[in-house]
Amino acid sequence: RTDELAAQLAAAHGIRAVAVQADMGSATGPAHCVASARNHFAHPKTGAFTLDIIVNNAAIAANKAVADVDVGHFARLYDVNVRGPLLLVQAALPHLPLDRSGRIVNVSSVSASLGFADQSVYGGTKAALEAMTRTWARELAARCTVNAVNPGPVATDMYAGTSRDFQAQMSSWTKNAPLAAVREGVDADEFVRNAEFAGGRPAYDTEMAGVVAMLCGEDAGWSTGSVVCANGGLKFSM
């Protein structure tokens, strides 16, 4: 599917897009991503190579009550959700712009701040990512801006794999999100049918991508170290 998407992007926008397979939870996967990008996109004569935009979107989610958390569960989530972004930015450092034009966007979650049951570990990983966002905003200020977004439920494979119990737990929160109210004839039929149980609809992936794209644009050059609420009002900015 990734190769197909790369081909679609190339055809639609006249760009080069390369799919790279890497385990972001491994010690070497993040550096492999950067090395692959350099191998494909460095200037053929001078070797010049700049990474203008990094979106740390790779993550895994799994819920366990605090009494059931084990070392393997903890390590698996923190390796992908926290160490992965850290090692990716570390590997990218030599290639970031020198004029503050770079952009790093970290995809966090409302789980970092709303305290959902069974998310001691997952919520903790996203809180750690938000803390790193603020630190990198200071450390990398001469090179790039660094921001985060904090989605709630999003209509992706990850959300589709959640249990009915999880959706039931989320329903009272979702009901409070003003933009989660479904619109018959506009929203997907499956979301309209499930709205009474789930409390509303999840975000569409395009709605999240739009906020990320905004933070990557030139006009976002005066915003850094922020967590931008992009969850339909599930959580309001303070």
Catalytic residue among 120, 122, 159, 226: 122
Three-state SS for 171-216 is HHHHHCCHHHCCCCCCCCHHHHHHHHHHCCCCECHHHHHHHHHHHH
Predicted TM-score (pTM) of the model is: 0.94
The whole-angstrom separation of Cα 213 and Cα 105 is 9
pLDDT of residue 69: 98
Residue 238: the pLDDT is 57
Give the Cβ contact number of residue 106 at 10 Å.
24
Dig out the tokens for 99 from the structure: 């004029």
Residue 192: the pLDDT is: 95
Q: The dihedral of CA 66, 23, 214, 201: what is its sign?
A: negative
109, 111, 120, 226: which is the annotated catalytic residue?
109
Active site residue 109: yes
Query: Of the listed 26, 36, 45, 108, which one is catalytic?
Result: 108
- Please indicate whether residue 122 is annotated as part of the active site: yes
The CATH class of the 52-152+203-230 domain is: alpha beta
Annotated catalytic, 108? yes
Res 163: pLDDT: 81
Per-residue pLDDT of the chain (238 residues), as tens digits, is: 999 999 999 999 999 999 999 999 999 999 999 999 999 999 999 999 999 999 999 999 999 999 999 999 999 999 999 999 999 999 999 999 999 999 999 999 999 999 999 999 999 999 999 999 999 999 999 999 999 999 999 998 888 888 888 888 889 999 999 999 999 999 999 999 999 999 999 999 999 999 999 999 999 999 999 999 999 999 998 5
Helices 120-139 and 84-92, packing angle to 10 deg: 20
The domain spans of the chain are 52-152+203-230
Catalytic residue among 111, 120, 126, 159: 126
The answer to whether 126 is a known catalytic residue is yes
